[in-house]
Structure 1
Amino acid sequence: MNQMWGSIEQYNTVVWHWPIAVYLFLAGLSAGAAMTSLMVKWIEGNETPPWDGLIKAGALLAPVTICLGLFLLIFDLTRPLHFWKLLIHYNFSSVMTLGVLGLFAYTPLSLLYAATKFKPWLFESGPFAGLLKPFQGIVDALDGRSAWLERSLFFFAIVIGIYTGFLLSAMYSYPLLNTPLLPILFLASGLSSGVAASILFGLLFFKSEVNQKNAKYLLELDLRVVPMELLLLFALFVGMYFQGGDKMVVAMQALTTGVWAWIFWVGVIGIGIATPLLIAVTALKNHAYRVGYILLNSAVVLVGVLALRLYILYAGQTFVG
């Protein structure tokens, strides 16, 4: 056996597999997209080009990705047809229950927010305009009270972003997962993926104009968010190392042993953090505000955040001291 890849016996502790990592990725992306859409709307104060594409992209991505993530989660359950029991049985000491309640609030809020941004298409020109017409009054009323809707959505987006980390940190027998930094790390990486996905879809599908002003704005967003992930990862592993005992052993194993160490250094650090920072700094320094740079920057951020979710989930269950 090639020791670089480790022994297959080390994987016996894995009980949560890739669908959970993808769900966590989609839930974090949804929360980050909602926050991105709202922050751009609030900071720029309008919904005209070149900002309307980002606002609409984030508004659409938020409900679509959370619904896809929940669909994946339901069908990953051992008995998916019994998922409805989660809706009527509550244990308020359970992280899962609190997450379900947060999703109860966040998901409809994200749908309503998206509806306010796509009213003409939904109620006039879309394929289901006739069926949805009776609901236009509700959406119009909410649009008239957009401050309440937007603030509620932003709050619950933060809740969902943090919850994705709490879901794993509640696994007490796994030292890499059972850390208070994980919810903050997942919130930061979720926001990073939300920014990247909103940029990518805004530029590709909503034809938002790209000029020096908003290109610089988008690149600077990454320069604010991505280093936060690096700092939190540094704090996570340094903290575990200096706690000694099993946590020190797990931290060293997770960074140096097997395929997951490669995923961390190449996927998370190399692709997800170093590459977008290099692209952003180079573009800003040289005033090279090209669409290609921004799209590449967004794509590598998304790959890196997905790699981070996979790494944390698998390495956290693999290395237990």
Structure 2
Amino acid sequence: MNEIWGNESVNAIVWHWPIALYLFLAGLSSGAMMTALSVEWMNPKRKAPWDAFVKAGVLIAPITIIVGLIVLIFDLTKPLNFYQLLIHYNLKSVMSLGVLLLLFYTPLCAIYAILRFRLTLSKSFLWPVMNLFGGVLDFLEKNSLWFGRLVFALAGGVGVYTGFLLSAIQTYPLYNSPILPILFLASGLSSGIAACICFGILLFSEEVSKEKTKYLLTMDLRVIPIESLLLFALFVGLYFQGGDKALVALSALSEGSWAMIFWVCVVGFSVVIPSVIALTALKNHAYKVNFILLNSISIMLGVFALRMYILYAGQLYLGA
């Protein structure tokens, strides 16, 4: 993706769509895991059979983070040298801290998924392999509350880290904001809730609870205004800093193709459409499957559009 629509392309694009895809998938993984754990903790017994949204979330989390990391590795100039990031750490580097965080989060969320699908896996060809680690899995199952809290904290860290990865870059005004990590955490949570609802209904329809569906729809409706407020604060903060940053804020919202993408895709898909659906078809959180799925897909598209917009607009709009 070496060319960008419109006349903004005079500025060099260093990071392309695979980075936006990685940021989206990492945020989605973080949000899905936090959502799954929140729903699980609503069950006082915390025992199987697990709710559809718990199953969906713990399945989505490891898959999306692993796919995201694969995309990131192959986007590197020398992907075969990626292993060096795992053995050389600079604790003053955001990238290095992120790698360390992912080194713990990725396997632990995969193990959590194994725990929640243990009964299903016991009937598969993987059972002999799992038997080798039966004692460890039993221990983690007995301490699943504390294990879940650890994974939840790591998931939140991954959600924030996706924003810090860009905000630490001082040469791009749109990136260099303390609001960006919080915005990425909120939008990642929103996409995670939407993904849990969508795939919970599609893959585990027999375990879907209308009560939990309404709970997650309500949660997402509360996250959307927060996300909108953070977007507003991001641009207002840039504008009132004056100079080039004010020009960046105005240009990013009003000039070129990426401004249109912001209003149509980011605001439209992640704010307007979900709000309209919630106030009409899902008024009082009515259980209407087609509209619930449309709502979830719209939110996920909007969050991906946000990642694309921030990545590209941040590199294109640099002020005077």
Q: TM-score category by the smaller chain?
A: over 0.9
The number of equivalent residue pairs is: 315
Cα distance in 1 for residues equivalent to 2:47 and 2:297: 25
TM-score, with structure 2 as normaliser? 0.94
1:211-252 C-alpha deviation (Å, 9 max, x unpaired): 653342232122111111101000111111111101100001
Query: Which segment drifts farther, 299-308 or 215-224?
Result: 215-224
Equivalent residue, structure 2, for 1:102: 101
Equivalent residue, structure 1, for 2:116: 117
Query: 1:288 Cα shift?
Result: 3.4
Equivalent residue, structure 2, for 1:207: 205
8 Å contact kept, 1:197–1:298: yes
2:295 to 294, 297, 306: 297
1:3-31 C-alpha deviation (Å, 9 max, x unpaired): xx641543x33100000000000000000
Structure 1 residues 291, 161: closer, same or farther in 2, change over 3 A? same
Equivalent residue, structure 1, for 2:151: 153
Amino acid at match of 1:252: L
Query: 1:209 Cα shift?
Result: 4.8
Cα distance in 2 for residues equivalent to 1:13 and 1:298: 34
Q: How does 1:24-63 map to 2 (within 5 A)?
A: 24-46=23-45, 52-63=51-62
Cα distance in 2 for residues equivalent to 1:266 and 1:48: 43
Query: 1:207 Cα shift?
Result: 1.5
2:221 to 217, 220, 223: 223
8 Å contact kept, 1:211–1:289: no
1:134 and 2:132 equivalent? yes
8 Å contact kept, 1:28–1:161: yes
Structure 1 residues 16, 22: closer, same or farther in 2, change over 3 A? same
Cα distance in 1 for residues equivalent to 2:218 and 2:309: 27
1:27-57 C-alpha deviation (Å, 9 max, x unpaired): 0000001100111111343568996100111
Structure 1 residues 9, 112: closer, same or farther in 2, change over 3 A? closer
1:317 and 2:301 equivalent? no
**Secondary structure in 2 matching 1:177:** coil
Cα distance in 2 for residues equivalent to 1:198 and 1:46: 21
2:176 to 175, 178, 181: 178
Cα distance in 1 for residues equivalent to 2:87 and 2:285: 55
Structure 1 residues 132, 287: closer, same or farther in 2, change over 3 A? closer
Cα distance in 2 for residues equivalent to 1:151 and 1:170: 28
Cα distance in 2 for residues equivalent to 1:16 and 1:294: 34
Identity, in percent, stands at 58
Amino acid at match of 2:99: V
Q: How does 1:276-291 map to 2 (within 5 A)?
A: 276-285=274-283, 288-291=286-289
Cα distance in 1 for residues equivalent to 2:206 and 2:222: 22
**Secondary structure in 2 matching 1:43:** coil
8 Å contact kept, 2:270–2:301: yes
Cα distance in 2 for residues equivalent to 1:208 and 1:307: 32
Equivalent residue, structure 2, for 1:197: 195
8 Å contact kept, 1:52–1:208: no
Q: How does 1:54-73 map to 2 (within 5 A)?
A: 54-73=53-72
More helix by share: 1
1:14 and 2:13 equivalent? yes
8 Å contact kept, 1:22–1:306: yes
Query: 1:283 Cα shift?
Result: 3.6
Equivalent residue, structure 1, for 2:265: 267
8 Å contact kept, 1:51–1:208: no
Query: Which segment drifts farther, 46-55 or 158-167?
Result: 46-55
Amino acid at match of 1:233: L
1:165 to 158, 163, 188: 163
Cα distance in 1 for residues equivalent to 2:198 and 2:172: 35
Amino acid at match of 1:7: N
Cα distance in 2 for residues equivalent to 1:158 and 1:287: 27
Structure 1 residues 211, 290: closer, same or farther in 2, change over 3 A? farther
Unaligned runs of 5+ in 1: none
Structure 1 residues 50, 268: closer, same or farther in 2, change over 3 A? farther
Structure 1 residues 51, 263: closer, same or farther in 2, change over 3 A? farther
